[in-house]
Amino acid sequence: MRVLVGLVCASVLGLASMANAEPLNAKQVSAEAKWLVHIDADAMRSSVVVDKGYAKCAEKCKALGEKVTDLREACKIFDPTTDLQGLTFYGKEYKPGAGVAIVCGKLTETILNGLSEGVQKMPNYSVSTYNMYQLHTWTHAQGTKHERPIIGVYVQPSYLVFGASEAEVKAALDVLDGSKANLAGTASPLAAAALPGALLLARVSGLADMKLPIESPIIKQTDAMALTLGENNYEAYLTADLAVKDVKTADEVKAMVDGALTNALMGTDDAEMSDLINAARVSSTEKAVSVDVRGPADIGWTYLEKLAAKVAEEGRKQMEKARQGQGK
């Protein structure tokens, strides 16, 4: 999915005009999906949080996009700041490179012709057919450690599907045309409706069975997790919803989350980070634990940056601890 990294950055931070919103559509996602990420590009165009982030990070994102040849050429034809409406990533496996990306946008005939001409210039380009679709394949980052095949498909009237596996792309097309089951109406934790104003959401199931490089007692007790970053009525919010197996586990996980927040509060001398931690509200129901943080949208990006830095720092500590443990 590296071919889409810069496009994601541009969609998150470089959006400029309103169009028809493209929230998560469970009918586009396979019923077998284990994880998904959705970005509502249209909603971001009116977001105060994203506007603040763009003011700080625009140049970095543009520089990243310039380094990816496939992306640089595509953005000359398909401008994510005006043409992109939404992005959905999902997969059935937890491994690097797995999964597909569905891009929703304003795909005019001019854009489609330009993309078709551009992709034919890519290394090792070829085209094949699957049912009613044309599968365009090329080599991304040829000659580097990131080299991999990319398959791209146009789905009328407004979607592009990308993946590194032909089998996964074909399965995604089957979901889109209705010949394979989708998430809509299922009991999967990935199928829940998005919160009002959701800008970005990430969901994963089967967490308790995953082999992770870091130790987390909270994750070990969690069957599924959903993270949502959003903005509604000039209020920014970040929520985490954890699904567990029973009431006892929910109480235990809530206590662990409360303890983690208390330790984080005691371990910081940053006043803004303290305010962020104090704003967190933890609640539990029969089989779920929720963490909800809300505040004025105009300062949302500042707090989001601080939170991301803190999470990254803790992640590095856990990774280092894991490496030291393996070396014993």
- The pLDDT tens digits of the residues spanning 193-248 come to 889 999 999 999 988 777 766 667 788 888 899 999 999 988 999 999 999 988 99
pLDDT of residue 11: 37
Query: Do 211 and 137 share a structural domain?
Result: no
Establish if 102 belongs to a structural domain: yes
pLDDT at 317 over 80: no
The whole-angstrom distance between residue 249's C-alpha and the CA centroid of its chain comes to 28
Contact 115, 77 (CB under 8 A): yes
Establish if 132 belongs to a structural domain: yes
pLDDT of residue 22: 61
Query: Do 148 and 268 share a structural domain?
Result: no
pLDDT at 320 over 80: no
Establish if 193 belongs to a structural domain: no
The domain boundary, picked from 128, 154, 176, lies at 176
pLDDT at 10 over 60: no
Looking at residue 240, its amino acid is A
Q: Which one has a higher pLDDT value, 174 or 13?
A: 174
Query: Do 230 and 128 share a structural domain?
Result: no
Going by pLDDT thresholds of 50, 70 and 90, the confidence category of residue 89 is very high
Establish if 237 belongs to a structural domain: yes
Going by pLDDT thresholds of 50, 70 and 90, the confidence category of residue 2 is very low
Q: How many domains does the chain have?
A: 2
Establish if 192 belongs to a structural domain: no
- Structural domain that includes position 130: 2-176
Query: Do 305 and 264 share a structural domain?
Result: yes
Establish if 199 belongs to a structural domain: no
pLDDT of residue 14: 35
Q: Pairing mode, if any, of strands 198-205 and 224-232?
A: antiparallel
pTM of the model: 0.82
Residue-wise pLDDT tens digits, 46-85:
888 888 787 777 676 666 555 555 666 667 777 777 888 8
Q: With 0-12 CB in 10 A as exposed, 13-18 as middle and 19+ as buried, what is 117?
A: exposed
Residue-wise pLDDT tens digits, 122-173:
999 999 999 999 999 999 888 888 888 999 999 999 999 999 999 999 999 9
pLDDT at 191 over 60: yes
Establish if 264 belongs to a structural domain: yes
Query: Do 133 and 260 share a structural domain?
Result: no
Query: Do 219 and 164 share a structural domain?
Result: no
Going by pLDDT thresholds of 50, 70 and 90, the confidence category of residue 313 is confident
> Per mean pLDDT, which of 6-20, 87-101, 314-328 is the most reliable?
87-101
Query: Do 212 and 170 share a structural domain?
Result: no
Mean pLDDT for the chain overall = 83
Query: Do 221 and 166 share a structural domain?
Result: no
Query: Do 82 and 217 share a structural domain?
Result: no
pLDDT of residue 322: 63
Q: Give percent above pLDDT 70 in the chain.
A: 83
pLDDT of residue 297: 86
Q: Which one has a higher pLDDT value, 176 or 48?
A: 176
Query: Do 261 and 129 share a structural domain?
Result: no
Establish if 282 belongs to a structural domain: yes
Query: Do 88 and 19 share a structural domain?
Result: yes
